[in-house]
Chains A and B, each alone.
Chain A
Amino acid sequence: MRALVVGGTGFIGVNLVDALLAEGAHVRVTRRKRSATILLQKRPIEWAEASLEEPEKLERAMAGCDVVFLAGAYYPRYSLDLGASLAEGVRGVRNACAAAAASGVRRLVYTSTIATLAGAPPGRPADERDVPGARPEGSVYRAVKWSMEREVDAARQRGLDAVTLLPGGCIGPWDVRLGTGAIVVGVVRGMLPWWVEGTVNLVDVGDVARAHVAAATRGRADRYCLTGHDVRVGWLLRHLVARYGGAVPERELSPDEARAQAERDERDAAPRRQRVPIPRELVDMATHGQPVSSARARADLGFAPAPLDASLDRAHAWFVKHAYLPRPNHEARNDENRTD
Chain B
Amino acid sequence: MKRGTMRTERTDTRGVTINLLAEICETDVSTIEGAQRLREDLGMDSLQSLELLSCVSEALKIDLDIEEAMGIRTVDDACEFVLSQYQDQRGHGRS
A positions within 8 Å CB-CB of B: 34-39, 41-42, 176-178, 272-275, 321-324
Q: How far is the CA of A176 from the CA of B66 in the complex (A)?
A: 11
The residue on B at minimum CB distance from A42 is B63
Apart from the given pairs A38-B69, A275-B45, 19 other A-B contacts in the complex at a CB distance below 8 Å: A34-B24, A34-B51, A34-B54, A34-B55, A36-B50, A36-B53, A36-B54, A37-B54, A37-B57, A38-B50, A38-B53, A38-B57, A42-B63, A177-B47, A272-B43, A274-B43, A323-B67, A323-B70, A323-B71
Q: How far is the CA of A275 from the CA of B64 in the complex (A)?
A: 26
The majority secondary structure among interface residues of chain B is helix
Q: Which residues of B contact A36 (CB under 8 A)?
A: 47, 50-51, 53-54
Q: Are A37 and B45 interface neighbours, CB within 8 A?
A: no
Q: How far is the CA of A274 from the CA of B46 in the complex (A)?
A: 11
Given that A34-B51, A35-B54, A38-B54 are known contacts, is A322 also in contact with B66, CB under 8 Å in the complex? yes
Q: Which residues of A contact B58 (CB under 8 A)?
A: 37
Q: Are B47 and A176 interface neighbours, CB within 8 A?
A: yes
Minimal beta-carbon separation of A174 from chain B (angstroms): 10
Q: Are B67 and A176 interface neighbours, CB within 8 A?
A: no
Q: Which residues of B contact A322 (CB under 8 A)?
A: 66-67, 70
Interface string of B12-53 (1 = CB under 8 A from A): 000000000001100000000000000000010111001101
B40-95 residues with Cβ-Cβ distance < 8 A to A are 43, 45-47, 50-51, 53-55, 57-58, 63-64, 66-67, 69-71
Q: Which residues of A contact B53 (CB under 8 A)?
A: 36, 38
Q: Are B50 and A176 interface neighbours, CB within 8 A?
A: yes
Q: Which residues of A contact B45 (CB under 8 A)?
A: 177, 274-275
Minimal beta-carbon separation of B31 from chain A (angstroms): 14
Q: How far is the CA of A283 from the CA of B29 in the complex (A)?
A: 37
Q: Which residues of B contact A272 (CB under 8 A)?
A: 43
Q: Which residues of A contact B47 (CB under 8 A)?
A: 36, 176-177
Q: Are B51 and A35 interface neighbours, CB within 8 A?
A: yes
Within 8 Å by CB of B63, from A35, A39, A41, A324, lies A41
Q: How far is the CA of A321 from the CA of B45 in the complex (A)?
A: 18
Q: How far is the CA of A28 from the CA of B19 in the complex (A)?
A: 29
Q: How far is the CA of A176 from the CA of B51 in the complex (A)?
A: 11
Q: Which residues of B contact A177 (CB under 8 A)?
A: 45-47
The residue on B at minimum CB distance from A34 is B51
Q: How far is the CA of A89 from the CA of B43 in the complex (A)?
A: 24
Within 8 Å by CB of A41, from B23, B57, B67, lies B57
Q: How far is the CA of A149 from the CA of B23 in the complex (A)?
A: 33
Q: How far is the CA of A252 from the CA of B67 in the complex (A)?
A: 35
The residue on A at minimum CB distance from B73 is A323
